[in-house]
Chains A and B, each alone.
Chain A
């Protein structure tokens, strides 16, 4: 089936550092969403992207919808301990825009050392 390749799989960084993660696919997407999930909880929506080339910020988070529509990246600037968690990209394939089906990446586990 369709897959999103998310990398890196995990990151261990120092507080204050910037973080970058991305998702790629061989398929074209018309929507990209980025979520953060804490243990035992559901994913929380961070940023939604709807247009190729779109760059959107939410506080210290910035995400972009790749120009080819096959990728997206998420940057976190000046990381803090509460950024710890699992970050997921999710996309909606072009051609499935009349349904709410999302394809998810495998997740990036972020750990921040104070």
Chain B
């Protein structure tokens, strides 16, 4: 089975721009969670989508948003980028929402200049 894929792998943007990241979960997995990883804050939960519905949201500003499509693929969007948004953005897929194993993709490295 193919693993979780994320595109693009690397991205450079300037302050004020917006960005969209994509995640394709493992085939058959219906839950996708997004995390931000930075050296200072570690891995922080952004949000989770299951059956095209946001199930939970972490403590991030409204500039961070996401969605899930009927094929379980998910996108996250960050608007009005700030320097502090530079991070590795990881998505993880799981069979269902709840207490299940989560499998991570390789991440998208976003650099904001």
Contacts and interface: CB of A to CB of B under 8 A. Distances in A.
Interface of A: 1, 30-31, 33, 35, 40-45, 48, 50, 88, 90, 92, 96-107
B98 A98 contact: yes
B101 A48 contact: yes
Interface residues on B, range: 20 to 34
A102 B99 contact: no
B104 A100 contact: no
Contacts, number: 74
B56 A35 contact: no
Interface of B: 4, 6, 31, 33, 35, 42-45, 48, 50, 55-56, 58-59, 90, 92, 94, 97-107, 109
- Identify which of B33, B92, B97, B99 gathers the most chain A CB atoms within 10 Å of its CB: B99
Nearest to B32: A100
A1 B43 CA distance: 13
A104 B43 contact: yes
- What DSSP secondary structure best describes chain B's contact surface? strand
B68 to A, nearest CB: 12
A31 B45 CA distance: 16
Given A41-B106, A42-B4, A99 B97 contact: yes
B44 to A, nearest CB: 8
